Structures are given as structure tokens and as C-alpha cells.
Structure 1
Amino acid sequence: MQFFKELWASRELLANLVLRETRGQYKRTVLGRLWSLLNPLASMLIYTFIFSMVFRIQPEAGDPSGLNIFPIWLMCGLLPWGFFAGSLNATSNSLLANTGLITKVYFPRSVLPLAAVGTLGMNWMLEMLVLVIALLLVGSQVLIWIPGTLLLMLLLAMFASGLGWILAIVTIHFRDTQYLLGILLQLWMYLTPIIYPASLIRDMSDRFGGLLNTNITVFDLYTLNPMYHFVTAFRQLLYDNRWPDTIHLVTCVGWTAAAVLVGVFVFNRSEKKIAEML
């Protein structure tokens, strides 16, 4: 509880750090905050061309929305993933990037990874707003699902923060972590149904059957990926226009609780030694 009390007491510092990073992120650039929209837009165009036009991958139409637009379907998964991956990259380097501040003045160090997540969250809010506008233009009834989407966004931010506290400490001990993380995130992305529907993995799993003469299938292992459940839940809210399946919500909450608890434990054990280790 002391961990969260210190975070609450430092809420003004957290807000100032997020504001500082948000203002300085695109300072002296011509397009400014538009860059936060152009990056996912470029990814959408590339993936749409490769997977929709070249490989002819076509996900099922939204149920019950009836939407059948690959770029929109793609963005409903790409934006949550982009926020999550960006958060892990930023939090892993958050303590090292603020070495001067840490060694000069005392404050709860846990604020720094949280500020990194908050900064990316500001960009993510803008991206999701544009996605909602695009959904409205194609006839989606997405407005009534906005509250649920916001709650799921908060849940994903908490999940990323929990992992971020762990990564921030690990990176201090092993500086190669930030480089290894980039490789792992690339692999993780392709193990998540972002640019292809999960039904492809399910069909393949059905053909293979149980592994090693057991009832465990490839798809069973595939669903152990927490981002599978987050991405599916976001698509069900935004693209399908329905409440996510219970299994996805329960799994998202479970992974978030586990990540936060482990993150707090790991960070607490090393927080007093952070300045020395830097």
C-alpha cells in the first residue's frame, strides 16, 4: 500500500512529467502531433497492401456490426498494440534516461515508468479518437461502446505499467535488455492476431489436433498470450460493436493484476538502490 500512497502523493509530479514529455516530444517539427497519426497510418497502408491485397487475408465481418473493411479492422488491433509496444520500449529506458534527475533529488522512482506510459497514452487517445471518427463515417454504432473502450484502455495501460516497472529495473541490471526487447516485441506482434485473424491459427490447430498425444492444442498455447485477449476485446468493442466475451475480459483483468503485483514487488525491492546502480 505504501507504494501506491507514494504514487498518489506524487500525482502532481507525474502530471508535470507527462506534460513536459508531451510538449517536448515533437518540438521543432513541422507536423508536430500529426506524426503520432502518420506512423500508424503508414503501418496500416503497408499491412493492408501485403496481407489484404497480396495474401488475400480477409477477416470475418463484424458481428453484429456487419463491417467488412480490412483497414478499419486492422487499426482496431494495431493501435492498442502500438501503445503497448511503445510503452514497454519507453518504460525500459525510463530510469536510464533520467539518471541526472534521480541522482540529484529524491522522489518516488516509480513515477518515471508511469510517466512514460502516460505520455504515450496521450498520443494513443488522439489516435483512438481518429479511429472512432473513421468508424462513425463507415456507419458503425461505436459511440455507445466508448465507455467500455475507455475502461479497456485503462486496463491495458495498467498492464503495460506493471510490465514497465519490471523492465525498468531489469534494464538497470542488464543494459542489453532494451535491445533484446525490440526483437521480442517483433516476435510478440506476429504471435498476436493483429494483421491476421485468430481463426487462421484456430483452423491450423484443428488440423494438427492435440500435441504429444494430449488434449492441449496449438490454439490453447496461442491463447496464453495476454495481448490476444486485449486485441480481441478491443475489436469486439470497436469493430463488432458488442461487449467482449467474458473469457477475454477475465483474462485481461487477471494478467493486469498479475503484472501490477509483480511489478510493484520487483520495483520495491530495488528502488532504494536505483541511484547507486545507475
Structure 2
Amino acid sequence: MTYFQELWSSRELLFNLTKREITGRYKRTVLGQLWSLLNPLASMLVYTFVFSIIFRNDPGPGDPSGIDAYFIWLLCGLLPYQFFSNAVNSGMGAIWSNSALVKKVYFPRTTLVLSSSAASGFNWSVEMGILVIALLIVGGPGVLVFLPVVLLFMALMLIFATGLGLMLAVVNVYFQDTQHLIGIALRLLMYLSPVVYPLTLVMNASNGIGPLFGSVTLFDLYRLNPVERFISAFRTLLYDQRLPELDDTLFCLGYAAVFIVLGLWIFRKNEKKLAELL
């Protein structure tokens, strides 16, 4: 039986683990699943006040949608980023948090990371559903045309985050410092991605500096950030309501493919050692 056949035979386990992640995350809370909405909404209120009122950050109206609402613009980038952060964090800790199960019985350990990503993806889909409703209220039915493409990019970002989570889950078993380093890195990455500010600010700053070496500019280096490509694609689809640029689409496809293949390969190479290291 090949590894993928083994994973397929464990699909019921994957479903049950995902269900446990979804229901267990907010178990014995009064608001339950609503907590998954309150975090991005609270962040949105703070960032909207700071960046649109104090710093007067104005990304301008959507092109060609004409939507001109900073809080909507912010959510179009904030929700994908928070999903990415949650998926990476939960995937990275999936082996450690289930160490008792890993040491007791054999099953494909990959399912632990996959279930964590799937649970984060479920919460993200609920949040994105609320965002679509807000877009329908503010900008009309135009967003519905692009929903199939939005779902495609959501799947690509889920695959990308899962691949990274698989790699970090292995590293985290070997080095417990990983979770602390990644926590810092994710906080920095948010401000190195166009979540609370428009991409044009980076472009203008880059033009003011000029080439760093050869013809390479600060903007070229900035756009190597995979998260930036995904956020740009979501903003184009949801806020501007047009198809993403071809290079953004190709980069998102490439990042998803490379990270999931690399993540599965690294995890598979180390899977048999995980129980001994815990």
C-alpha cells in the first residue's frame, strides 16, 4: 500500500480529527463558533481606527467595483492572513499537542496536520462568508461572479499553509524553540505584507530608493513574499472585483505546489522518528 493509499484509507480518521478540532476549540464557551469571528472583527476595528483615522491611510476605491470602504478593504487582506497564521500555528503544534496519541497507536501522522489545517479552513470559510455578505451590501452582487475563483485561491492558500505546517511540525518536534520563533516571524510577516496598507506605498517607497543592485528593486524583493501574492489576489477578486494579475496567479499556484510537495516529503522522511522524539 502506497503512502497516499494509506492516507486515503484514513479519511474517516481525518474527518473525525477535523470535527474534534472544530468542536473542541470553543468547547464550553458561551459564544462557541462566534469567537472565530470576534477576533478578526476586533482587529478590524483597531486597525481601521489607527490606519484610516489617525494615519489617514486611503487605499482608494476598488477598480472597477467602485467600493470605497476601508474596513471592507482591510478584511479582504486581514482574513486571509489570519487564516494563514492560524493554520501554520496549529499545524506546527499538531504533533506535540497529540503526543499521547502518537505514542500509543500507529496511524498516518500526516492526518494530524491535515485536520488542523482543515479546521482552520472551516473557520476561515465562515469568516469569508460573512465578508461576502458585507460586500453584497456595500458593493452589490458583482462579487458573486468571482466566487468560484475566490474558492480556488482559498484552496491554494490552504494547500500552501498545510505544506508549511507539515515542515514546521517536524522541526518543532526536534527544536521546541521553533514555536516561539515562528510566533515572532508571523507577527513581523503581517507588517511585511500589505494587510493594513496598500501595495502602492511599497511601490512608491521603492521608486524613491531606486535599484538596490543591478535592476533589482526593493519592490521586487518585497513581492517574493508568498503571503503578499495571496493577499493581492484576494483583494483584486473581492474588493476590486476583477481577475488577479497573471503573475500573481502563477506565483500562488507555484507556491502551493512547491510547499505541499516539500512539506509531504520532509514529513514522510521523518514520520517514523516522531514518536521516539516526543
Moved segments of 4+, more than 6 Å:
none
Secondary structure of the 1:211 match is: coil
CA distance, structure 2, for counterparts of residue 2 and residue 44 of structure 1:
45
Aligned length: 277
The aligned counterpart of 1:257 is: 257
Q: Give the match for residue 177 of structure 2.
A: 176
- The CA distance in 1 between the partners of 2:90 and 2:262, in whole Å, is 19
**By how many angstroms is 1:43 displaced?**
0.2
SS of 1:175's partner is: coil
Question: Secondary structure, in 3 states, of the residue corresponding to 1:62?
Answer: coil
Cα contact 1:3–1:264 (8 A) shared by 2: no
Q: State the SS of the aligned residue for 1:142.
A: helix
Is contact 2:110-2:166 (8 Å) kept?
yes
CA distance in 1, matches of 2:186, 2:158: 17
**Structure 1 position 116, deviation (Å):** 0.5
Residues 90 and 117, structure 1, Cα contact 8 Å, conserved in 2: yes
Unaligned 5+ segments in structure 1 are none
RMSD: 1.0
Deviation at 1:254, TM superposition (A): 0.6
Q: 1:49 and 2:49 equivalent? A: yes
TM superposition shift of 1:60 = 2.5
Give the % identical residues. Answer: 52
Q: TM-score, normalised by structure 1?
A: 0.98
Given that 1:166 and 1:263 are in contact with CA atoms closer than 8 Å, whether structure 2 keeps it comes out as yes
> Which stretches in structure 2 are left out of the alignment for 5+ residues?
none
Please tell me whether the aligned partners of residues 66 and 139 of structure 2 are also in contact (alpha carbons under 8 angstroms).
no
Match of 2:195 in 1: 194
Q: 1:116-147: per-residue Cα shift (whole Å, max 9, x none)?
A: 11111111111001000000001231111111
Counterparts in 2 of 1:10-159, with a 5 A limit? 10-140=10-140, 141-159=142-160
CA distance in 1, matches of 2:228, 2:150: 16
Q: CA deviation at 1:2?
A: 3.4
Kept after mapping to 2: 8 A contact 1:110/1:165 = yes
Deviation of the 1:160 alpha carbon: 0.5
TM-score, with structure 2 as normaliser:
0.98
Amino acid aligned to 1:154: A
Partner Cα separation in structure 1 for residue 216 and residue 145 of structure 2: 38
2:129 and 2:19 map into 1 onto residues whose CA distance is 19
1:4 Cα deviation (Å)? Answer: 2.7
> Is contact 1:142-1:238 (8 Å) kept?
yes
Cα distance in structure 1, aligned partners of 2:187 and 2:157:
19
Cα separation, 1, equivalents of 2:8 and 2:63: 41
